[in-house]
Amino acid sequence: MPMPAMAGWIARRVLLAALLVVGASSAALMLTRLAPGDISGQLGPFAKADEVAALRARFDLDRPAPMQWALWAGRAARFDFGTSFLYNRPVGEMVGQAAVNTAILATAALFLATVVGLSLGVLTGYGGGAVPAVIRAASLLLVSLPPLLMSLLLVFVAARTGWFPAGGMSSASAVDLAWGDWLADVLRHLPLPTLALALPLAATLERLQSQAIAEVLRQPFLVAAAARGVGAERALWRHAWPASLRPICAVYGMMIGALLSGSFVVEYITAWPGLGRLMYEALRARDIYLVAGCAATGAVFLAIGTLLGDVLLAALDPRVREGLEA
């Protein structure tokens, strides 16, 4: 694709992403506002009326919903996303830190899921026998396991065996560690949430890759390549595999976005201080500005993920590039 066309396409996607962020955060704010119950429930069932009124006023809940949205949007335009009631801290700061933590986890999980899922997918799609059958069965099992169960199962395994820490992002003694040791400590805590996130994702990728490669192997261009004397291994890796990646790229962007916007179940169970867990706690407490901040960040990540997926797809599939040029 010529550079100007690509730049225009990216600019349009960024504009759409901005609209997505505004829409998602505004919708989150309004839905939290309109749902039964509000933040004053956190004061307990028997809070005094003046305490409840003061809290509602502090969070603009004493104003009509559109007015509250306008006030929030005005402040957000100046990068003031309000204060969290739960944490009594600025939302921007809370969300920023949680987003970094989620990005660390998501990157590790995505890397693991991609390497394992795609390589096993090629294996099961290309060959037959007992090993691929076992992998297929394991994938089906992992895809079917709810994230809650998977997370609890892994925490249980960690608790019983001590192979890796049973949760959290760092050890209790991390406060005394030097930077390098702290990093090593964080890496030691990564396997549990990473596996909880990556295993179902790897299984999904394995299934997609397996079906895609099996389908591509039946294509005439590979029969022709074989007739021209191209070896089986070269045909697989140089011709079949790149062609099989198209359907995977189509869903890969969504996967990246979903991972980056936080998996609240995994983060909650494994006590990983990420965006998903923050969003869940904010929703439970009706911490309205924190909900909106988390939704906005999640939407940003989703937009980045889908953009990356689309760029990958365009790079791999000439038909997509031609469509964009047109």
* SS3 state at 43: helix
Minimum distance, C-beta of residue 305 to other proteins, in the bound complex (Å): 23
Q: Using the structure block, give the residue that is written with the tokens 């590039």.
A: 321
Burial level of 99, CB count in 10 A (0-12/13-18/19+)? buried
Rounded Cα distance between 205 and 117, Å, is 5
**Residue 168 touches other proteins, criterion: CB under 8 A:** yes
Using the minimum distance from each CB to other proteins, give the nearer residue, 52 or 308: 52
Assess 89 for contact with other proteins (CB under 8 A). Answer: yes
Q: Is 51 in the site for other proteins (CB under 8 A)?
A: yes
CA-based R_g, the chain, Å: 24
For the chain, how long is the longest CA-to-CA vector? Answer: 84
Taking the complex as a whole, how short is the minimal distance between the CB of residue 269 and other proteins, in angstroms? 5
- For the chain, the straight-line distance linking the first and the last C-alpha, in angstroms and rounded, comes to 10
| 47 sits near other proteins (criterion: CB under 8 A) | yes
Candidate ranges 5-13, 41-49, 126-134, 249-257; the one touching other proteins (CB under 8 A):
41-49
Alpha carbon of 298 to those of 21, 28, 215, 276, 295: distances in Å?
8, 11, 35, 9, 5
| Structure token pair of residue 274 | 């990420």
Instruction: Based on the shown chain and the rule CB under 8 A, indicate whether residue 179 belongs to the binding site for other proteins.
Output: no
Q: What's the CA gap between 303 and 10, in Å, rounded? A: 11
Which amino acid is residue 196, in one-letter code? Answer: A
Give 243-291 as a DSSP string. HHHHHHHHHHHHHHHHHHT--HHHHHHTT--SHHHHHHHHHHHT-HHHH
- Which of 82, 117, 125, 165 binds other proteins (CB under 8 A)? It is 165
Q: Would you say 162 or 220 has its CB closer to other proteins?
A: 162
Q: 24, 91, 122, 155: which one contacts other proteins (CB under 8 A)?
A: 155
Q: Which residues pair with 67 in a beta bridge?
A: none
In this complex, which beta carbon is closest to other proteins, that of residue 166 or of residue 213?
166
Please identify, using beta-carbon distances, which residue of 234 and 284 lies nearer to other proteins. 284
- By CB under 8 A, residue 170 contacts other proteins: yes
Site for other proteins in 264-293 (CB under 8 A): 268-271, 273, 277-278, 281, 284-286
Establish if 37 lies at the interface with other proteins (CB under 8 A). yes
Phi, psi of 270 (to 5 degrees): -90, 10
In the complex, the smallest distance separating the C-beta of residue 285 from other proteins, rounded to whole angstroms, is 8
Q: Does the footprint of other proteins cover residue 175 (CB under 8 A)?
A: yes
Instruction: Closer to other proteins by CB, 73 or 174: give it.
Output: 174
How far apart (Å, rounded) are the C-alpha atoms in residues 210 and 195? Answer: 21
Query: Is position 97 an interface residue for other proteins (rule: CB under 8 A)?
Result: yes
List residues near other proteins by CB under 8 A.
35-38, 41-42, 44-49, 51-52, 85-89, 94, 97-98, 101, 152, 155-156, 158-160, 162, 165-170, 172-173, 175, 268-271, 273, 277-278, 281, 284-286
